[in-house]
Chains A and B, each alone.
Chain A
Amino acid sequence: MGKKEILVLEDLLGSNNKIAADIRNQLTQKGILTINLLSSPGAGKTTLLEQLFTFLHPHYKMAVIEGDIETERDADRIRAQGIPAWQIMTGGACHLEAKMIGRLFPEIPPDLDFLFIENVGNLVCPASFDLGEHLRFVLLSTPEGDDKPKKYPKAFLTADSLVISKADLVPILPFDIDRAVREAEGMNPHLRTFITSSTTGMGLKELAEFLISRLKELRKNHA
């Protein structure tokens, strides 16, 4: 028996990142703006999408990929609005990976304007996996507390946009919006912040306008 040492120097996320780059490239060519939504469970990702669609529908074509450990519940809610949705059941895994999106890719209509990927509810693990998105949104709901950005740094450091959800509850909660936003933007100066409520509609029009402007930018740059 002989011993041999091999210098490898390979990134563990290298294969995921390669698939993600390929997905992003294809989505860019097709002009489909893709958004990966991250948050803890119950922050209101599905409800935000349902409400956002009322601003985008029927002028824009959308579809949603739902990531959950079990059940088709979220996909059913989206389909009830007449929006195509695919449910990825991870069967225990705490995050989505690029290869899971890649498997669905042939089914995604090429004439979409927006593709939303609702990640598994978890502020930790999904932050490490690029899915090929153009924009990463992190939702922070007011009942979770305003101290979360520094406790879960990677989600906030890798996001393009911070969406404070359930902002209508601020009068009855000890949640300081300024503190949360200051902390998150301090960590990531590129964050674009939206203060929203899916119950009252606060901030949703601005969010929809932001997405439309980014869609136009994507198509202008790759026309």
Chain B
Amino acid sequence: MHELSLIANLFEILEKNAEENKAQKITYVKMQVGLLSGAVPELLKTAFDIYKKDTIAAEAEIEIIKVPLKVECGDCGQITTHDDYILFCGSCGSSNLKTLAGTDMILEKMELEIDSPS
């Protein structure tokens, strides 16, 4: 269960952005989590809801998009997506694969409430 550490990292990024924008509140957070990132989206959500109490994001909702594994074959050039790791290209059988997506945890966007200039 390293999800709480990851959420602590997320909050560093969230709070930095909120401060730069002089926000009153963070109301919404959207993440992209790769199926092979090593983190469990459901546990990230639980960790977020525990961590957010008494922070600027106390009322924020989190949305987590699961990103499948996307690989490009270095031999035939075929790009394919998968729900599990794969060893060989589905088209030509080559093991020369390059991972394009599905292993990262990314904060995609956030919504803030900001005092309107009067």
Contact = CB atoms under 8 A, between A and B. Distances in A.
Q: Which of B9, B104, B113, B115 has the most CB of A within 10 A?
A: B9
B5 A93 contact: yes
A223 interface: no
Interface in A139-173: 153-154, 157
Instruction: Classify the interface of chain B: helix, strand, loop or mixed.
Output: mixed
B82 interface: no
Given A6-B112, A124-B38, A12 B1 contact: no
Given A2-B113, A153-B36, A187-B87, 9 more contacts: A5-B109, A5-B112, A6-B17, A9-B107, A11-B106, A15-B12, A93-B2, A124-B2, A128-B38
Contacts of A124: 2, 38
- Which label, helix, strand, loop or mixed, suits the secondary structure of the A interface? mixed
Interface string B60-99: 0000000000000000000000000101000000010000
6 contacts: A1-B116, A5-B112, A6-B21, A12-B107, A128-B2, A189-B87
B80 to A, nearest CB: 17
Interface residues of A, number: 30
A186 B87 contact: yes
Interface of A: 1-13, 15-16, 93-95, 97, 124-125, 127-129, 153-154, 157, 186-187, 189
Contact of B95 (A10, A12, A189): A189
Nearest to A1: B113
Contacts of A1: 24, 113-116
Contacts of A97: 5
B13 interface: yes
Contacts of B39: 128
